[in-house]
Every structure is written in C-alpha cells, then in structure tokens.
Amino acid sequence: MANNPTANAMWHPVPIPAQAPTTEGYVDVRGTKLWYWDTGGPGHPVILLHAGTQSAAGWVYQQPALAAAGFRAIGYSRRGYYRSDSGTDPGWTVGGDLHCLIEHLGLPTVDLIGAAQGGFVVLDYLFAHPERVRGVGIVSSYMGIQEADYAAANARLRPPFFASLPHDFQELCPSYRAGNPQGVADWHAEEDRAVTGKRIAPVLGTTPTWARLEAIRHKMLLATGDSDLYVPPSLLRMQAAHLPCAEVHVVPEAGHSPYWEQPEIFNALLLDFLRRL
C-alpha cells in the first residue's frame, strides 16, 4: 500500500466551498437526455462519475478544487439521476452513454474518476475505448468484478440485512456521522435529490474479470476509506493484486465516500495523481 503523508492529519469538518462557474447542458444518448455540467477552460478534462446514492451535483468538494488547479472538470448524472431522464433502450450501456458525452463535448482524451458505481462506468468505458483515456481513478468501488473468490470475499463482508440499513450508515464512517452533523445533513440533501424515480443499475458492455483487470496498462489511482463497509482495505488489496499499474491509498477516518468525508486529503491525493499523468 502506498504511504499516505496525510494519514495522521487531525480530522475536522470541511464546509462545502463556493463552486466554480460552469456551463450546463444535456446530451442525447439514443433518445434519452442526460444532464451535465462543465467548468470549461483549456485544462485537461477530468470527468467525475458519481456513486449510486449521489448524482453529478454531489462533487461539490472536487469541482472547485479541480478548476482552481487548472483542470477542466465535468460531471454528469446517469440515467434516472438528478436532472437526467430515466429512459432505457435495448443495448444501452453506461460506457456507451459516457462515450456519447465525450463525443458531444469533442474531447480527444480524458481522465476518468469514478466513485462506487461510478467505478463500474470507468471500467466499462476503459475496456471499450482505451485510446480515449489518459488516466483513471476508482474510489471505493467493488467494480462489478465477476470472479468466484471475489464473490466469496464480498459475501463474508456484509450480512443479508445490510441492504436494508440506512444509506448513511452504510456509506459514512462512524467518526464522520458522530463528528459532523452538518456534513451528514448536506450528504442527505444530495442523496434526496439524486434519484428522481426508480434507481437504474449500471448496465455494462464488458464484464470485469481478473484477466481483464490485469491487462489494464493505464495509470490508476485506487482508493478507499479505512472504515468502508463495502470496500475495506482488505478488499482493496485484493483488487490491487490484479491491477499492476495502480497506486493504492487508504483514506483515514473515512467510509464509502472518502471524497466527501475527507475532501482535503482526497483532493490532495487526486491532484497529485493527475499532475503526474
């Protein structure tokens, strides 16, 4: 595991910062419209891919940090999420939808940063269009990997009743829930507006397997929170063993949403990684 120079930093709540100016629009994906925002500018484009409890509006800590660092930050809501249509059609995939956005914006190459279910989208696009991707980050995602040993490890992690627990218990670490009530309220506000109807699960064009992960040669930031109930450090190590080009970080005092719970630490890791691509 990579050494984390900020692992001993004192934890403190971080208010949501002022957001950078953006343009907003819609991209047509085979008859369904998806909402996106874009900070614009000449910097290299970084597309942020949201978790299953959030939407494109949930990257409030990363959007201004990326823009201030000179990157072009872009986020979009998947089908059925905040301000995006919920329509589906035969043969759609999350990677295909992302490709429509990239083509719509005329981006030759991009960096992709996906959290939780957003990590599924990162891999689906990377498998289909590796030449369009410069670097990737996958955060607290079990990635949809289809392998027997991986399924067995996940089965040991969470009891059957886990899915019925409140989302904040599942995703935010105890330290954050106890120490930052305003942050929890803000997280809930984002969750409440994220899903506008029936939650639409990611549809993949390519099934992630160990062999496919081992063939990835793109530089990758692989991270999780030390209290993540979905992807604890042990499961992250299992993933990393099959990702030869990944650098691995465990964010302290964070659960399944380290980019929200520990934004200063996470943003420092993210910006350092992007600057080295």
Query: Tens digits of per-residue pLDDT, 94-129?
Result: 999 999 999 999 999 999 999 999 999 999 999 999
Q: Is residue 60 part of a domain?
A: yes
pLDDT at 8: 54
**pLDDT above 60: residue 5:** no
Q: Is residue 45 part of a domain?
A: yes
Lowest mean pLDDT among 1-5, 74-78, 266-270: 1-5
**What percent of the chain is modeled with pLDDT above 90?**
93
3-state secondary structure of 245: coil
Q: Is residue 12 part of a domain?
A: no
**What percent of the chain is modeled with pLDDT above 70?**
96
pLDDT at 197: 75
Q: Is residue 14 part of a domain?
A: no
Q: Is residue 1 part of a domain?
A: no
pTM (predicted TM-score): 0.96
> Residue type at 128?
A
Q: What is the mean pLDDT of residues 120-147?
A: 98
Residue at token pair 């040669």: 217
**What band does 11 get if pLDDT is binned at 50, 70 and 90?**
low
**pLDDT above 80: residue 218:** yes
Q: What's the structural domain count of the chain?
A: 1
Alpha-carbon torsion angle 26, 121, 188, 221, nearest 10: -120
Collect all residues with Cβ–Cβ distance below 8 Å to 276 and sequence separation of at least 6: 219
**Structure tokens given for 274:** 């992007």
**pLDDT above 90: residue 22:** yes
**pLDDT above 70: residue 1:** no
Q: What is the mean pLDDT of residues 29-41?
A: 96
Q: Which domain holds residue 130?
A: 23-275
Query: Tens digits of per-residue pLDDT, 56-90?
Result: 999 999 999 999 999 999 999 999 999 999 999 99
Q: What is the mean pLDDT of residues 36-63?
A: 98
**pLDDT above 70: residue 274:** yes
Q: Is residue 6 part of a domain?
A: no
pLDDT at 236: 98
Residues making up the chain, counted from first to last: 277
Collect all residues with Cβ–Cβ distance below 8 Å to 177 and sequence separation of at least 6: 168, 169, 184
pLDDT at 12: 80
Q: Is residue 11 part of a domain?
A: no
Within 13 Å of residue 63, how many CA atoms lie on the same side as its CB? 23
Check which CATH number belongs to the domain holding 89 and give it: 3.40.50.1820
**pLDDT above 60: residue 7:** no
CA distances from 60 to 14, 48, 89 (A): 11, 11, 31
Query: Tens digits of per-residue pLDDT, 158-178?
Result: 999 999 999 999 999 999 999
Q: What is the mean pLDDT of residues 6-16?
A: 71
Query: Tens digits of per-residue pLDDT, 226-261?
Result: 999 999 999 999 999 999 999 999 999 999 999 999
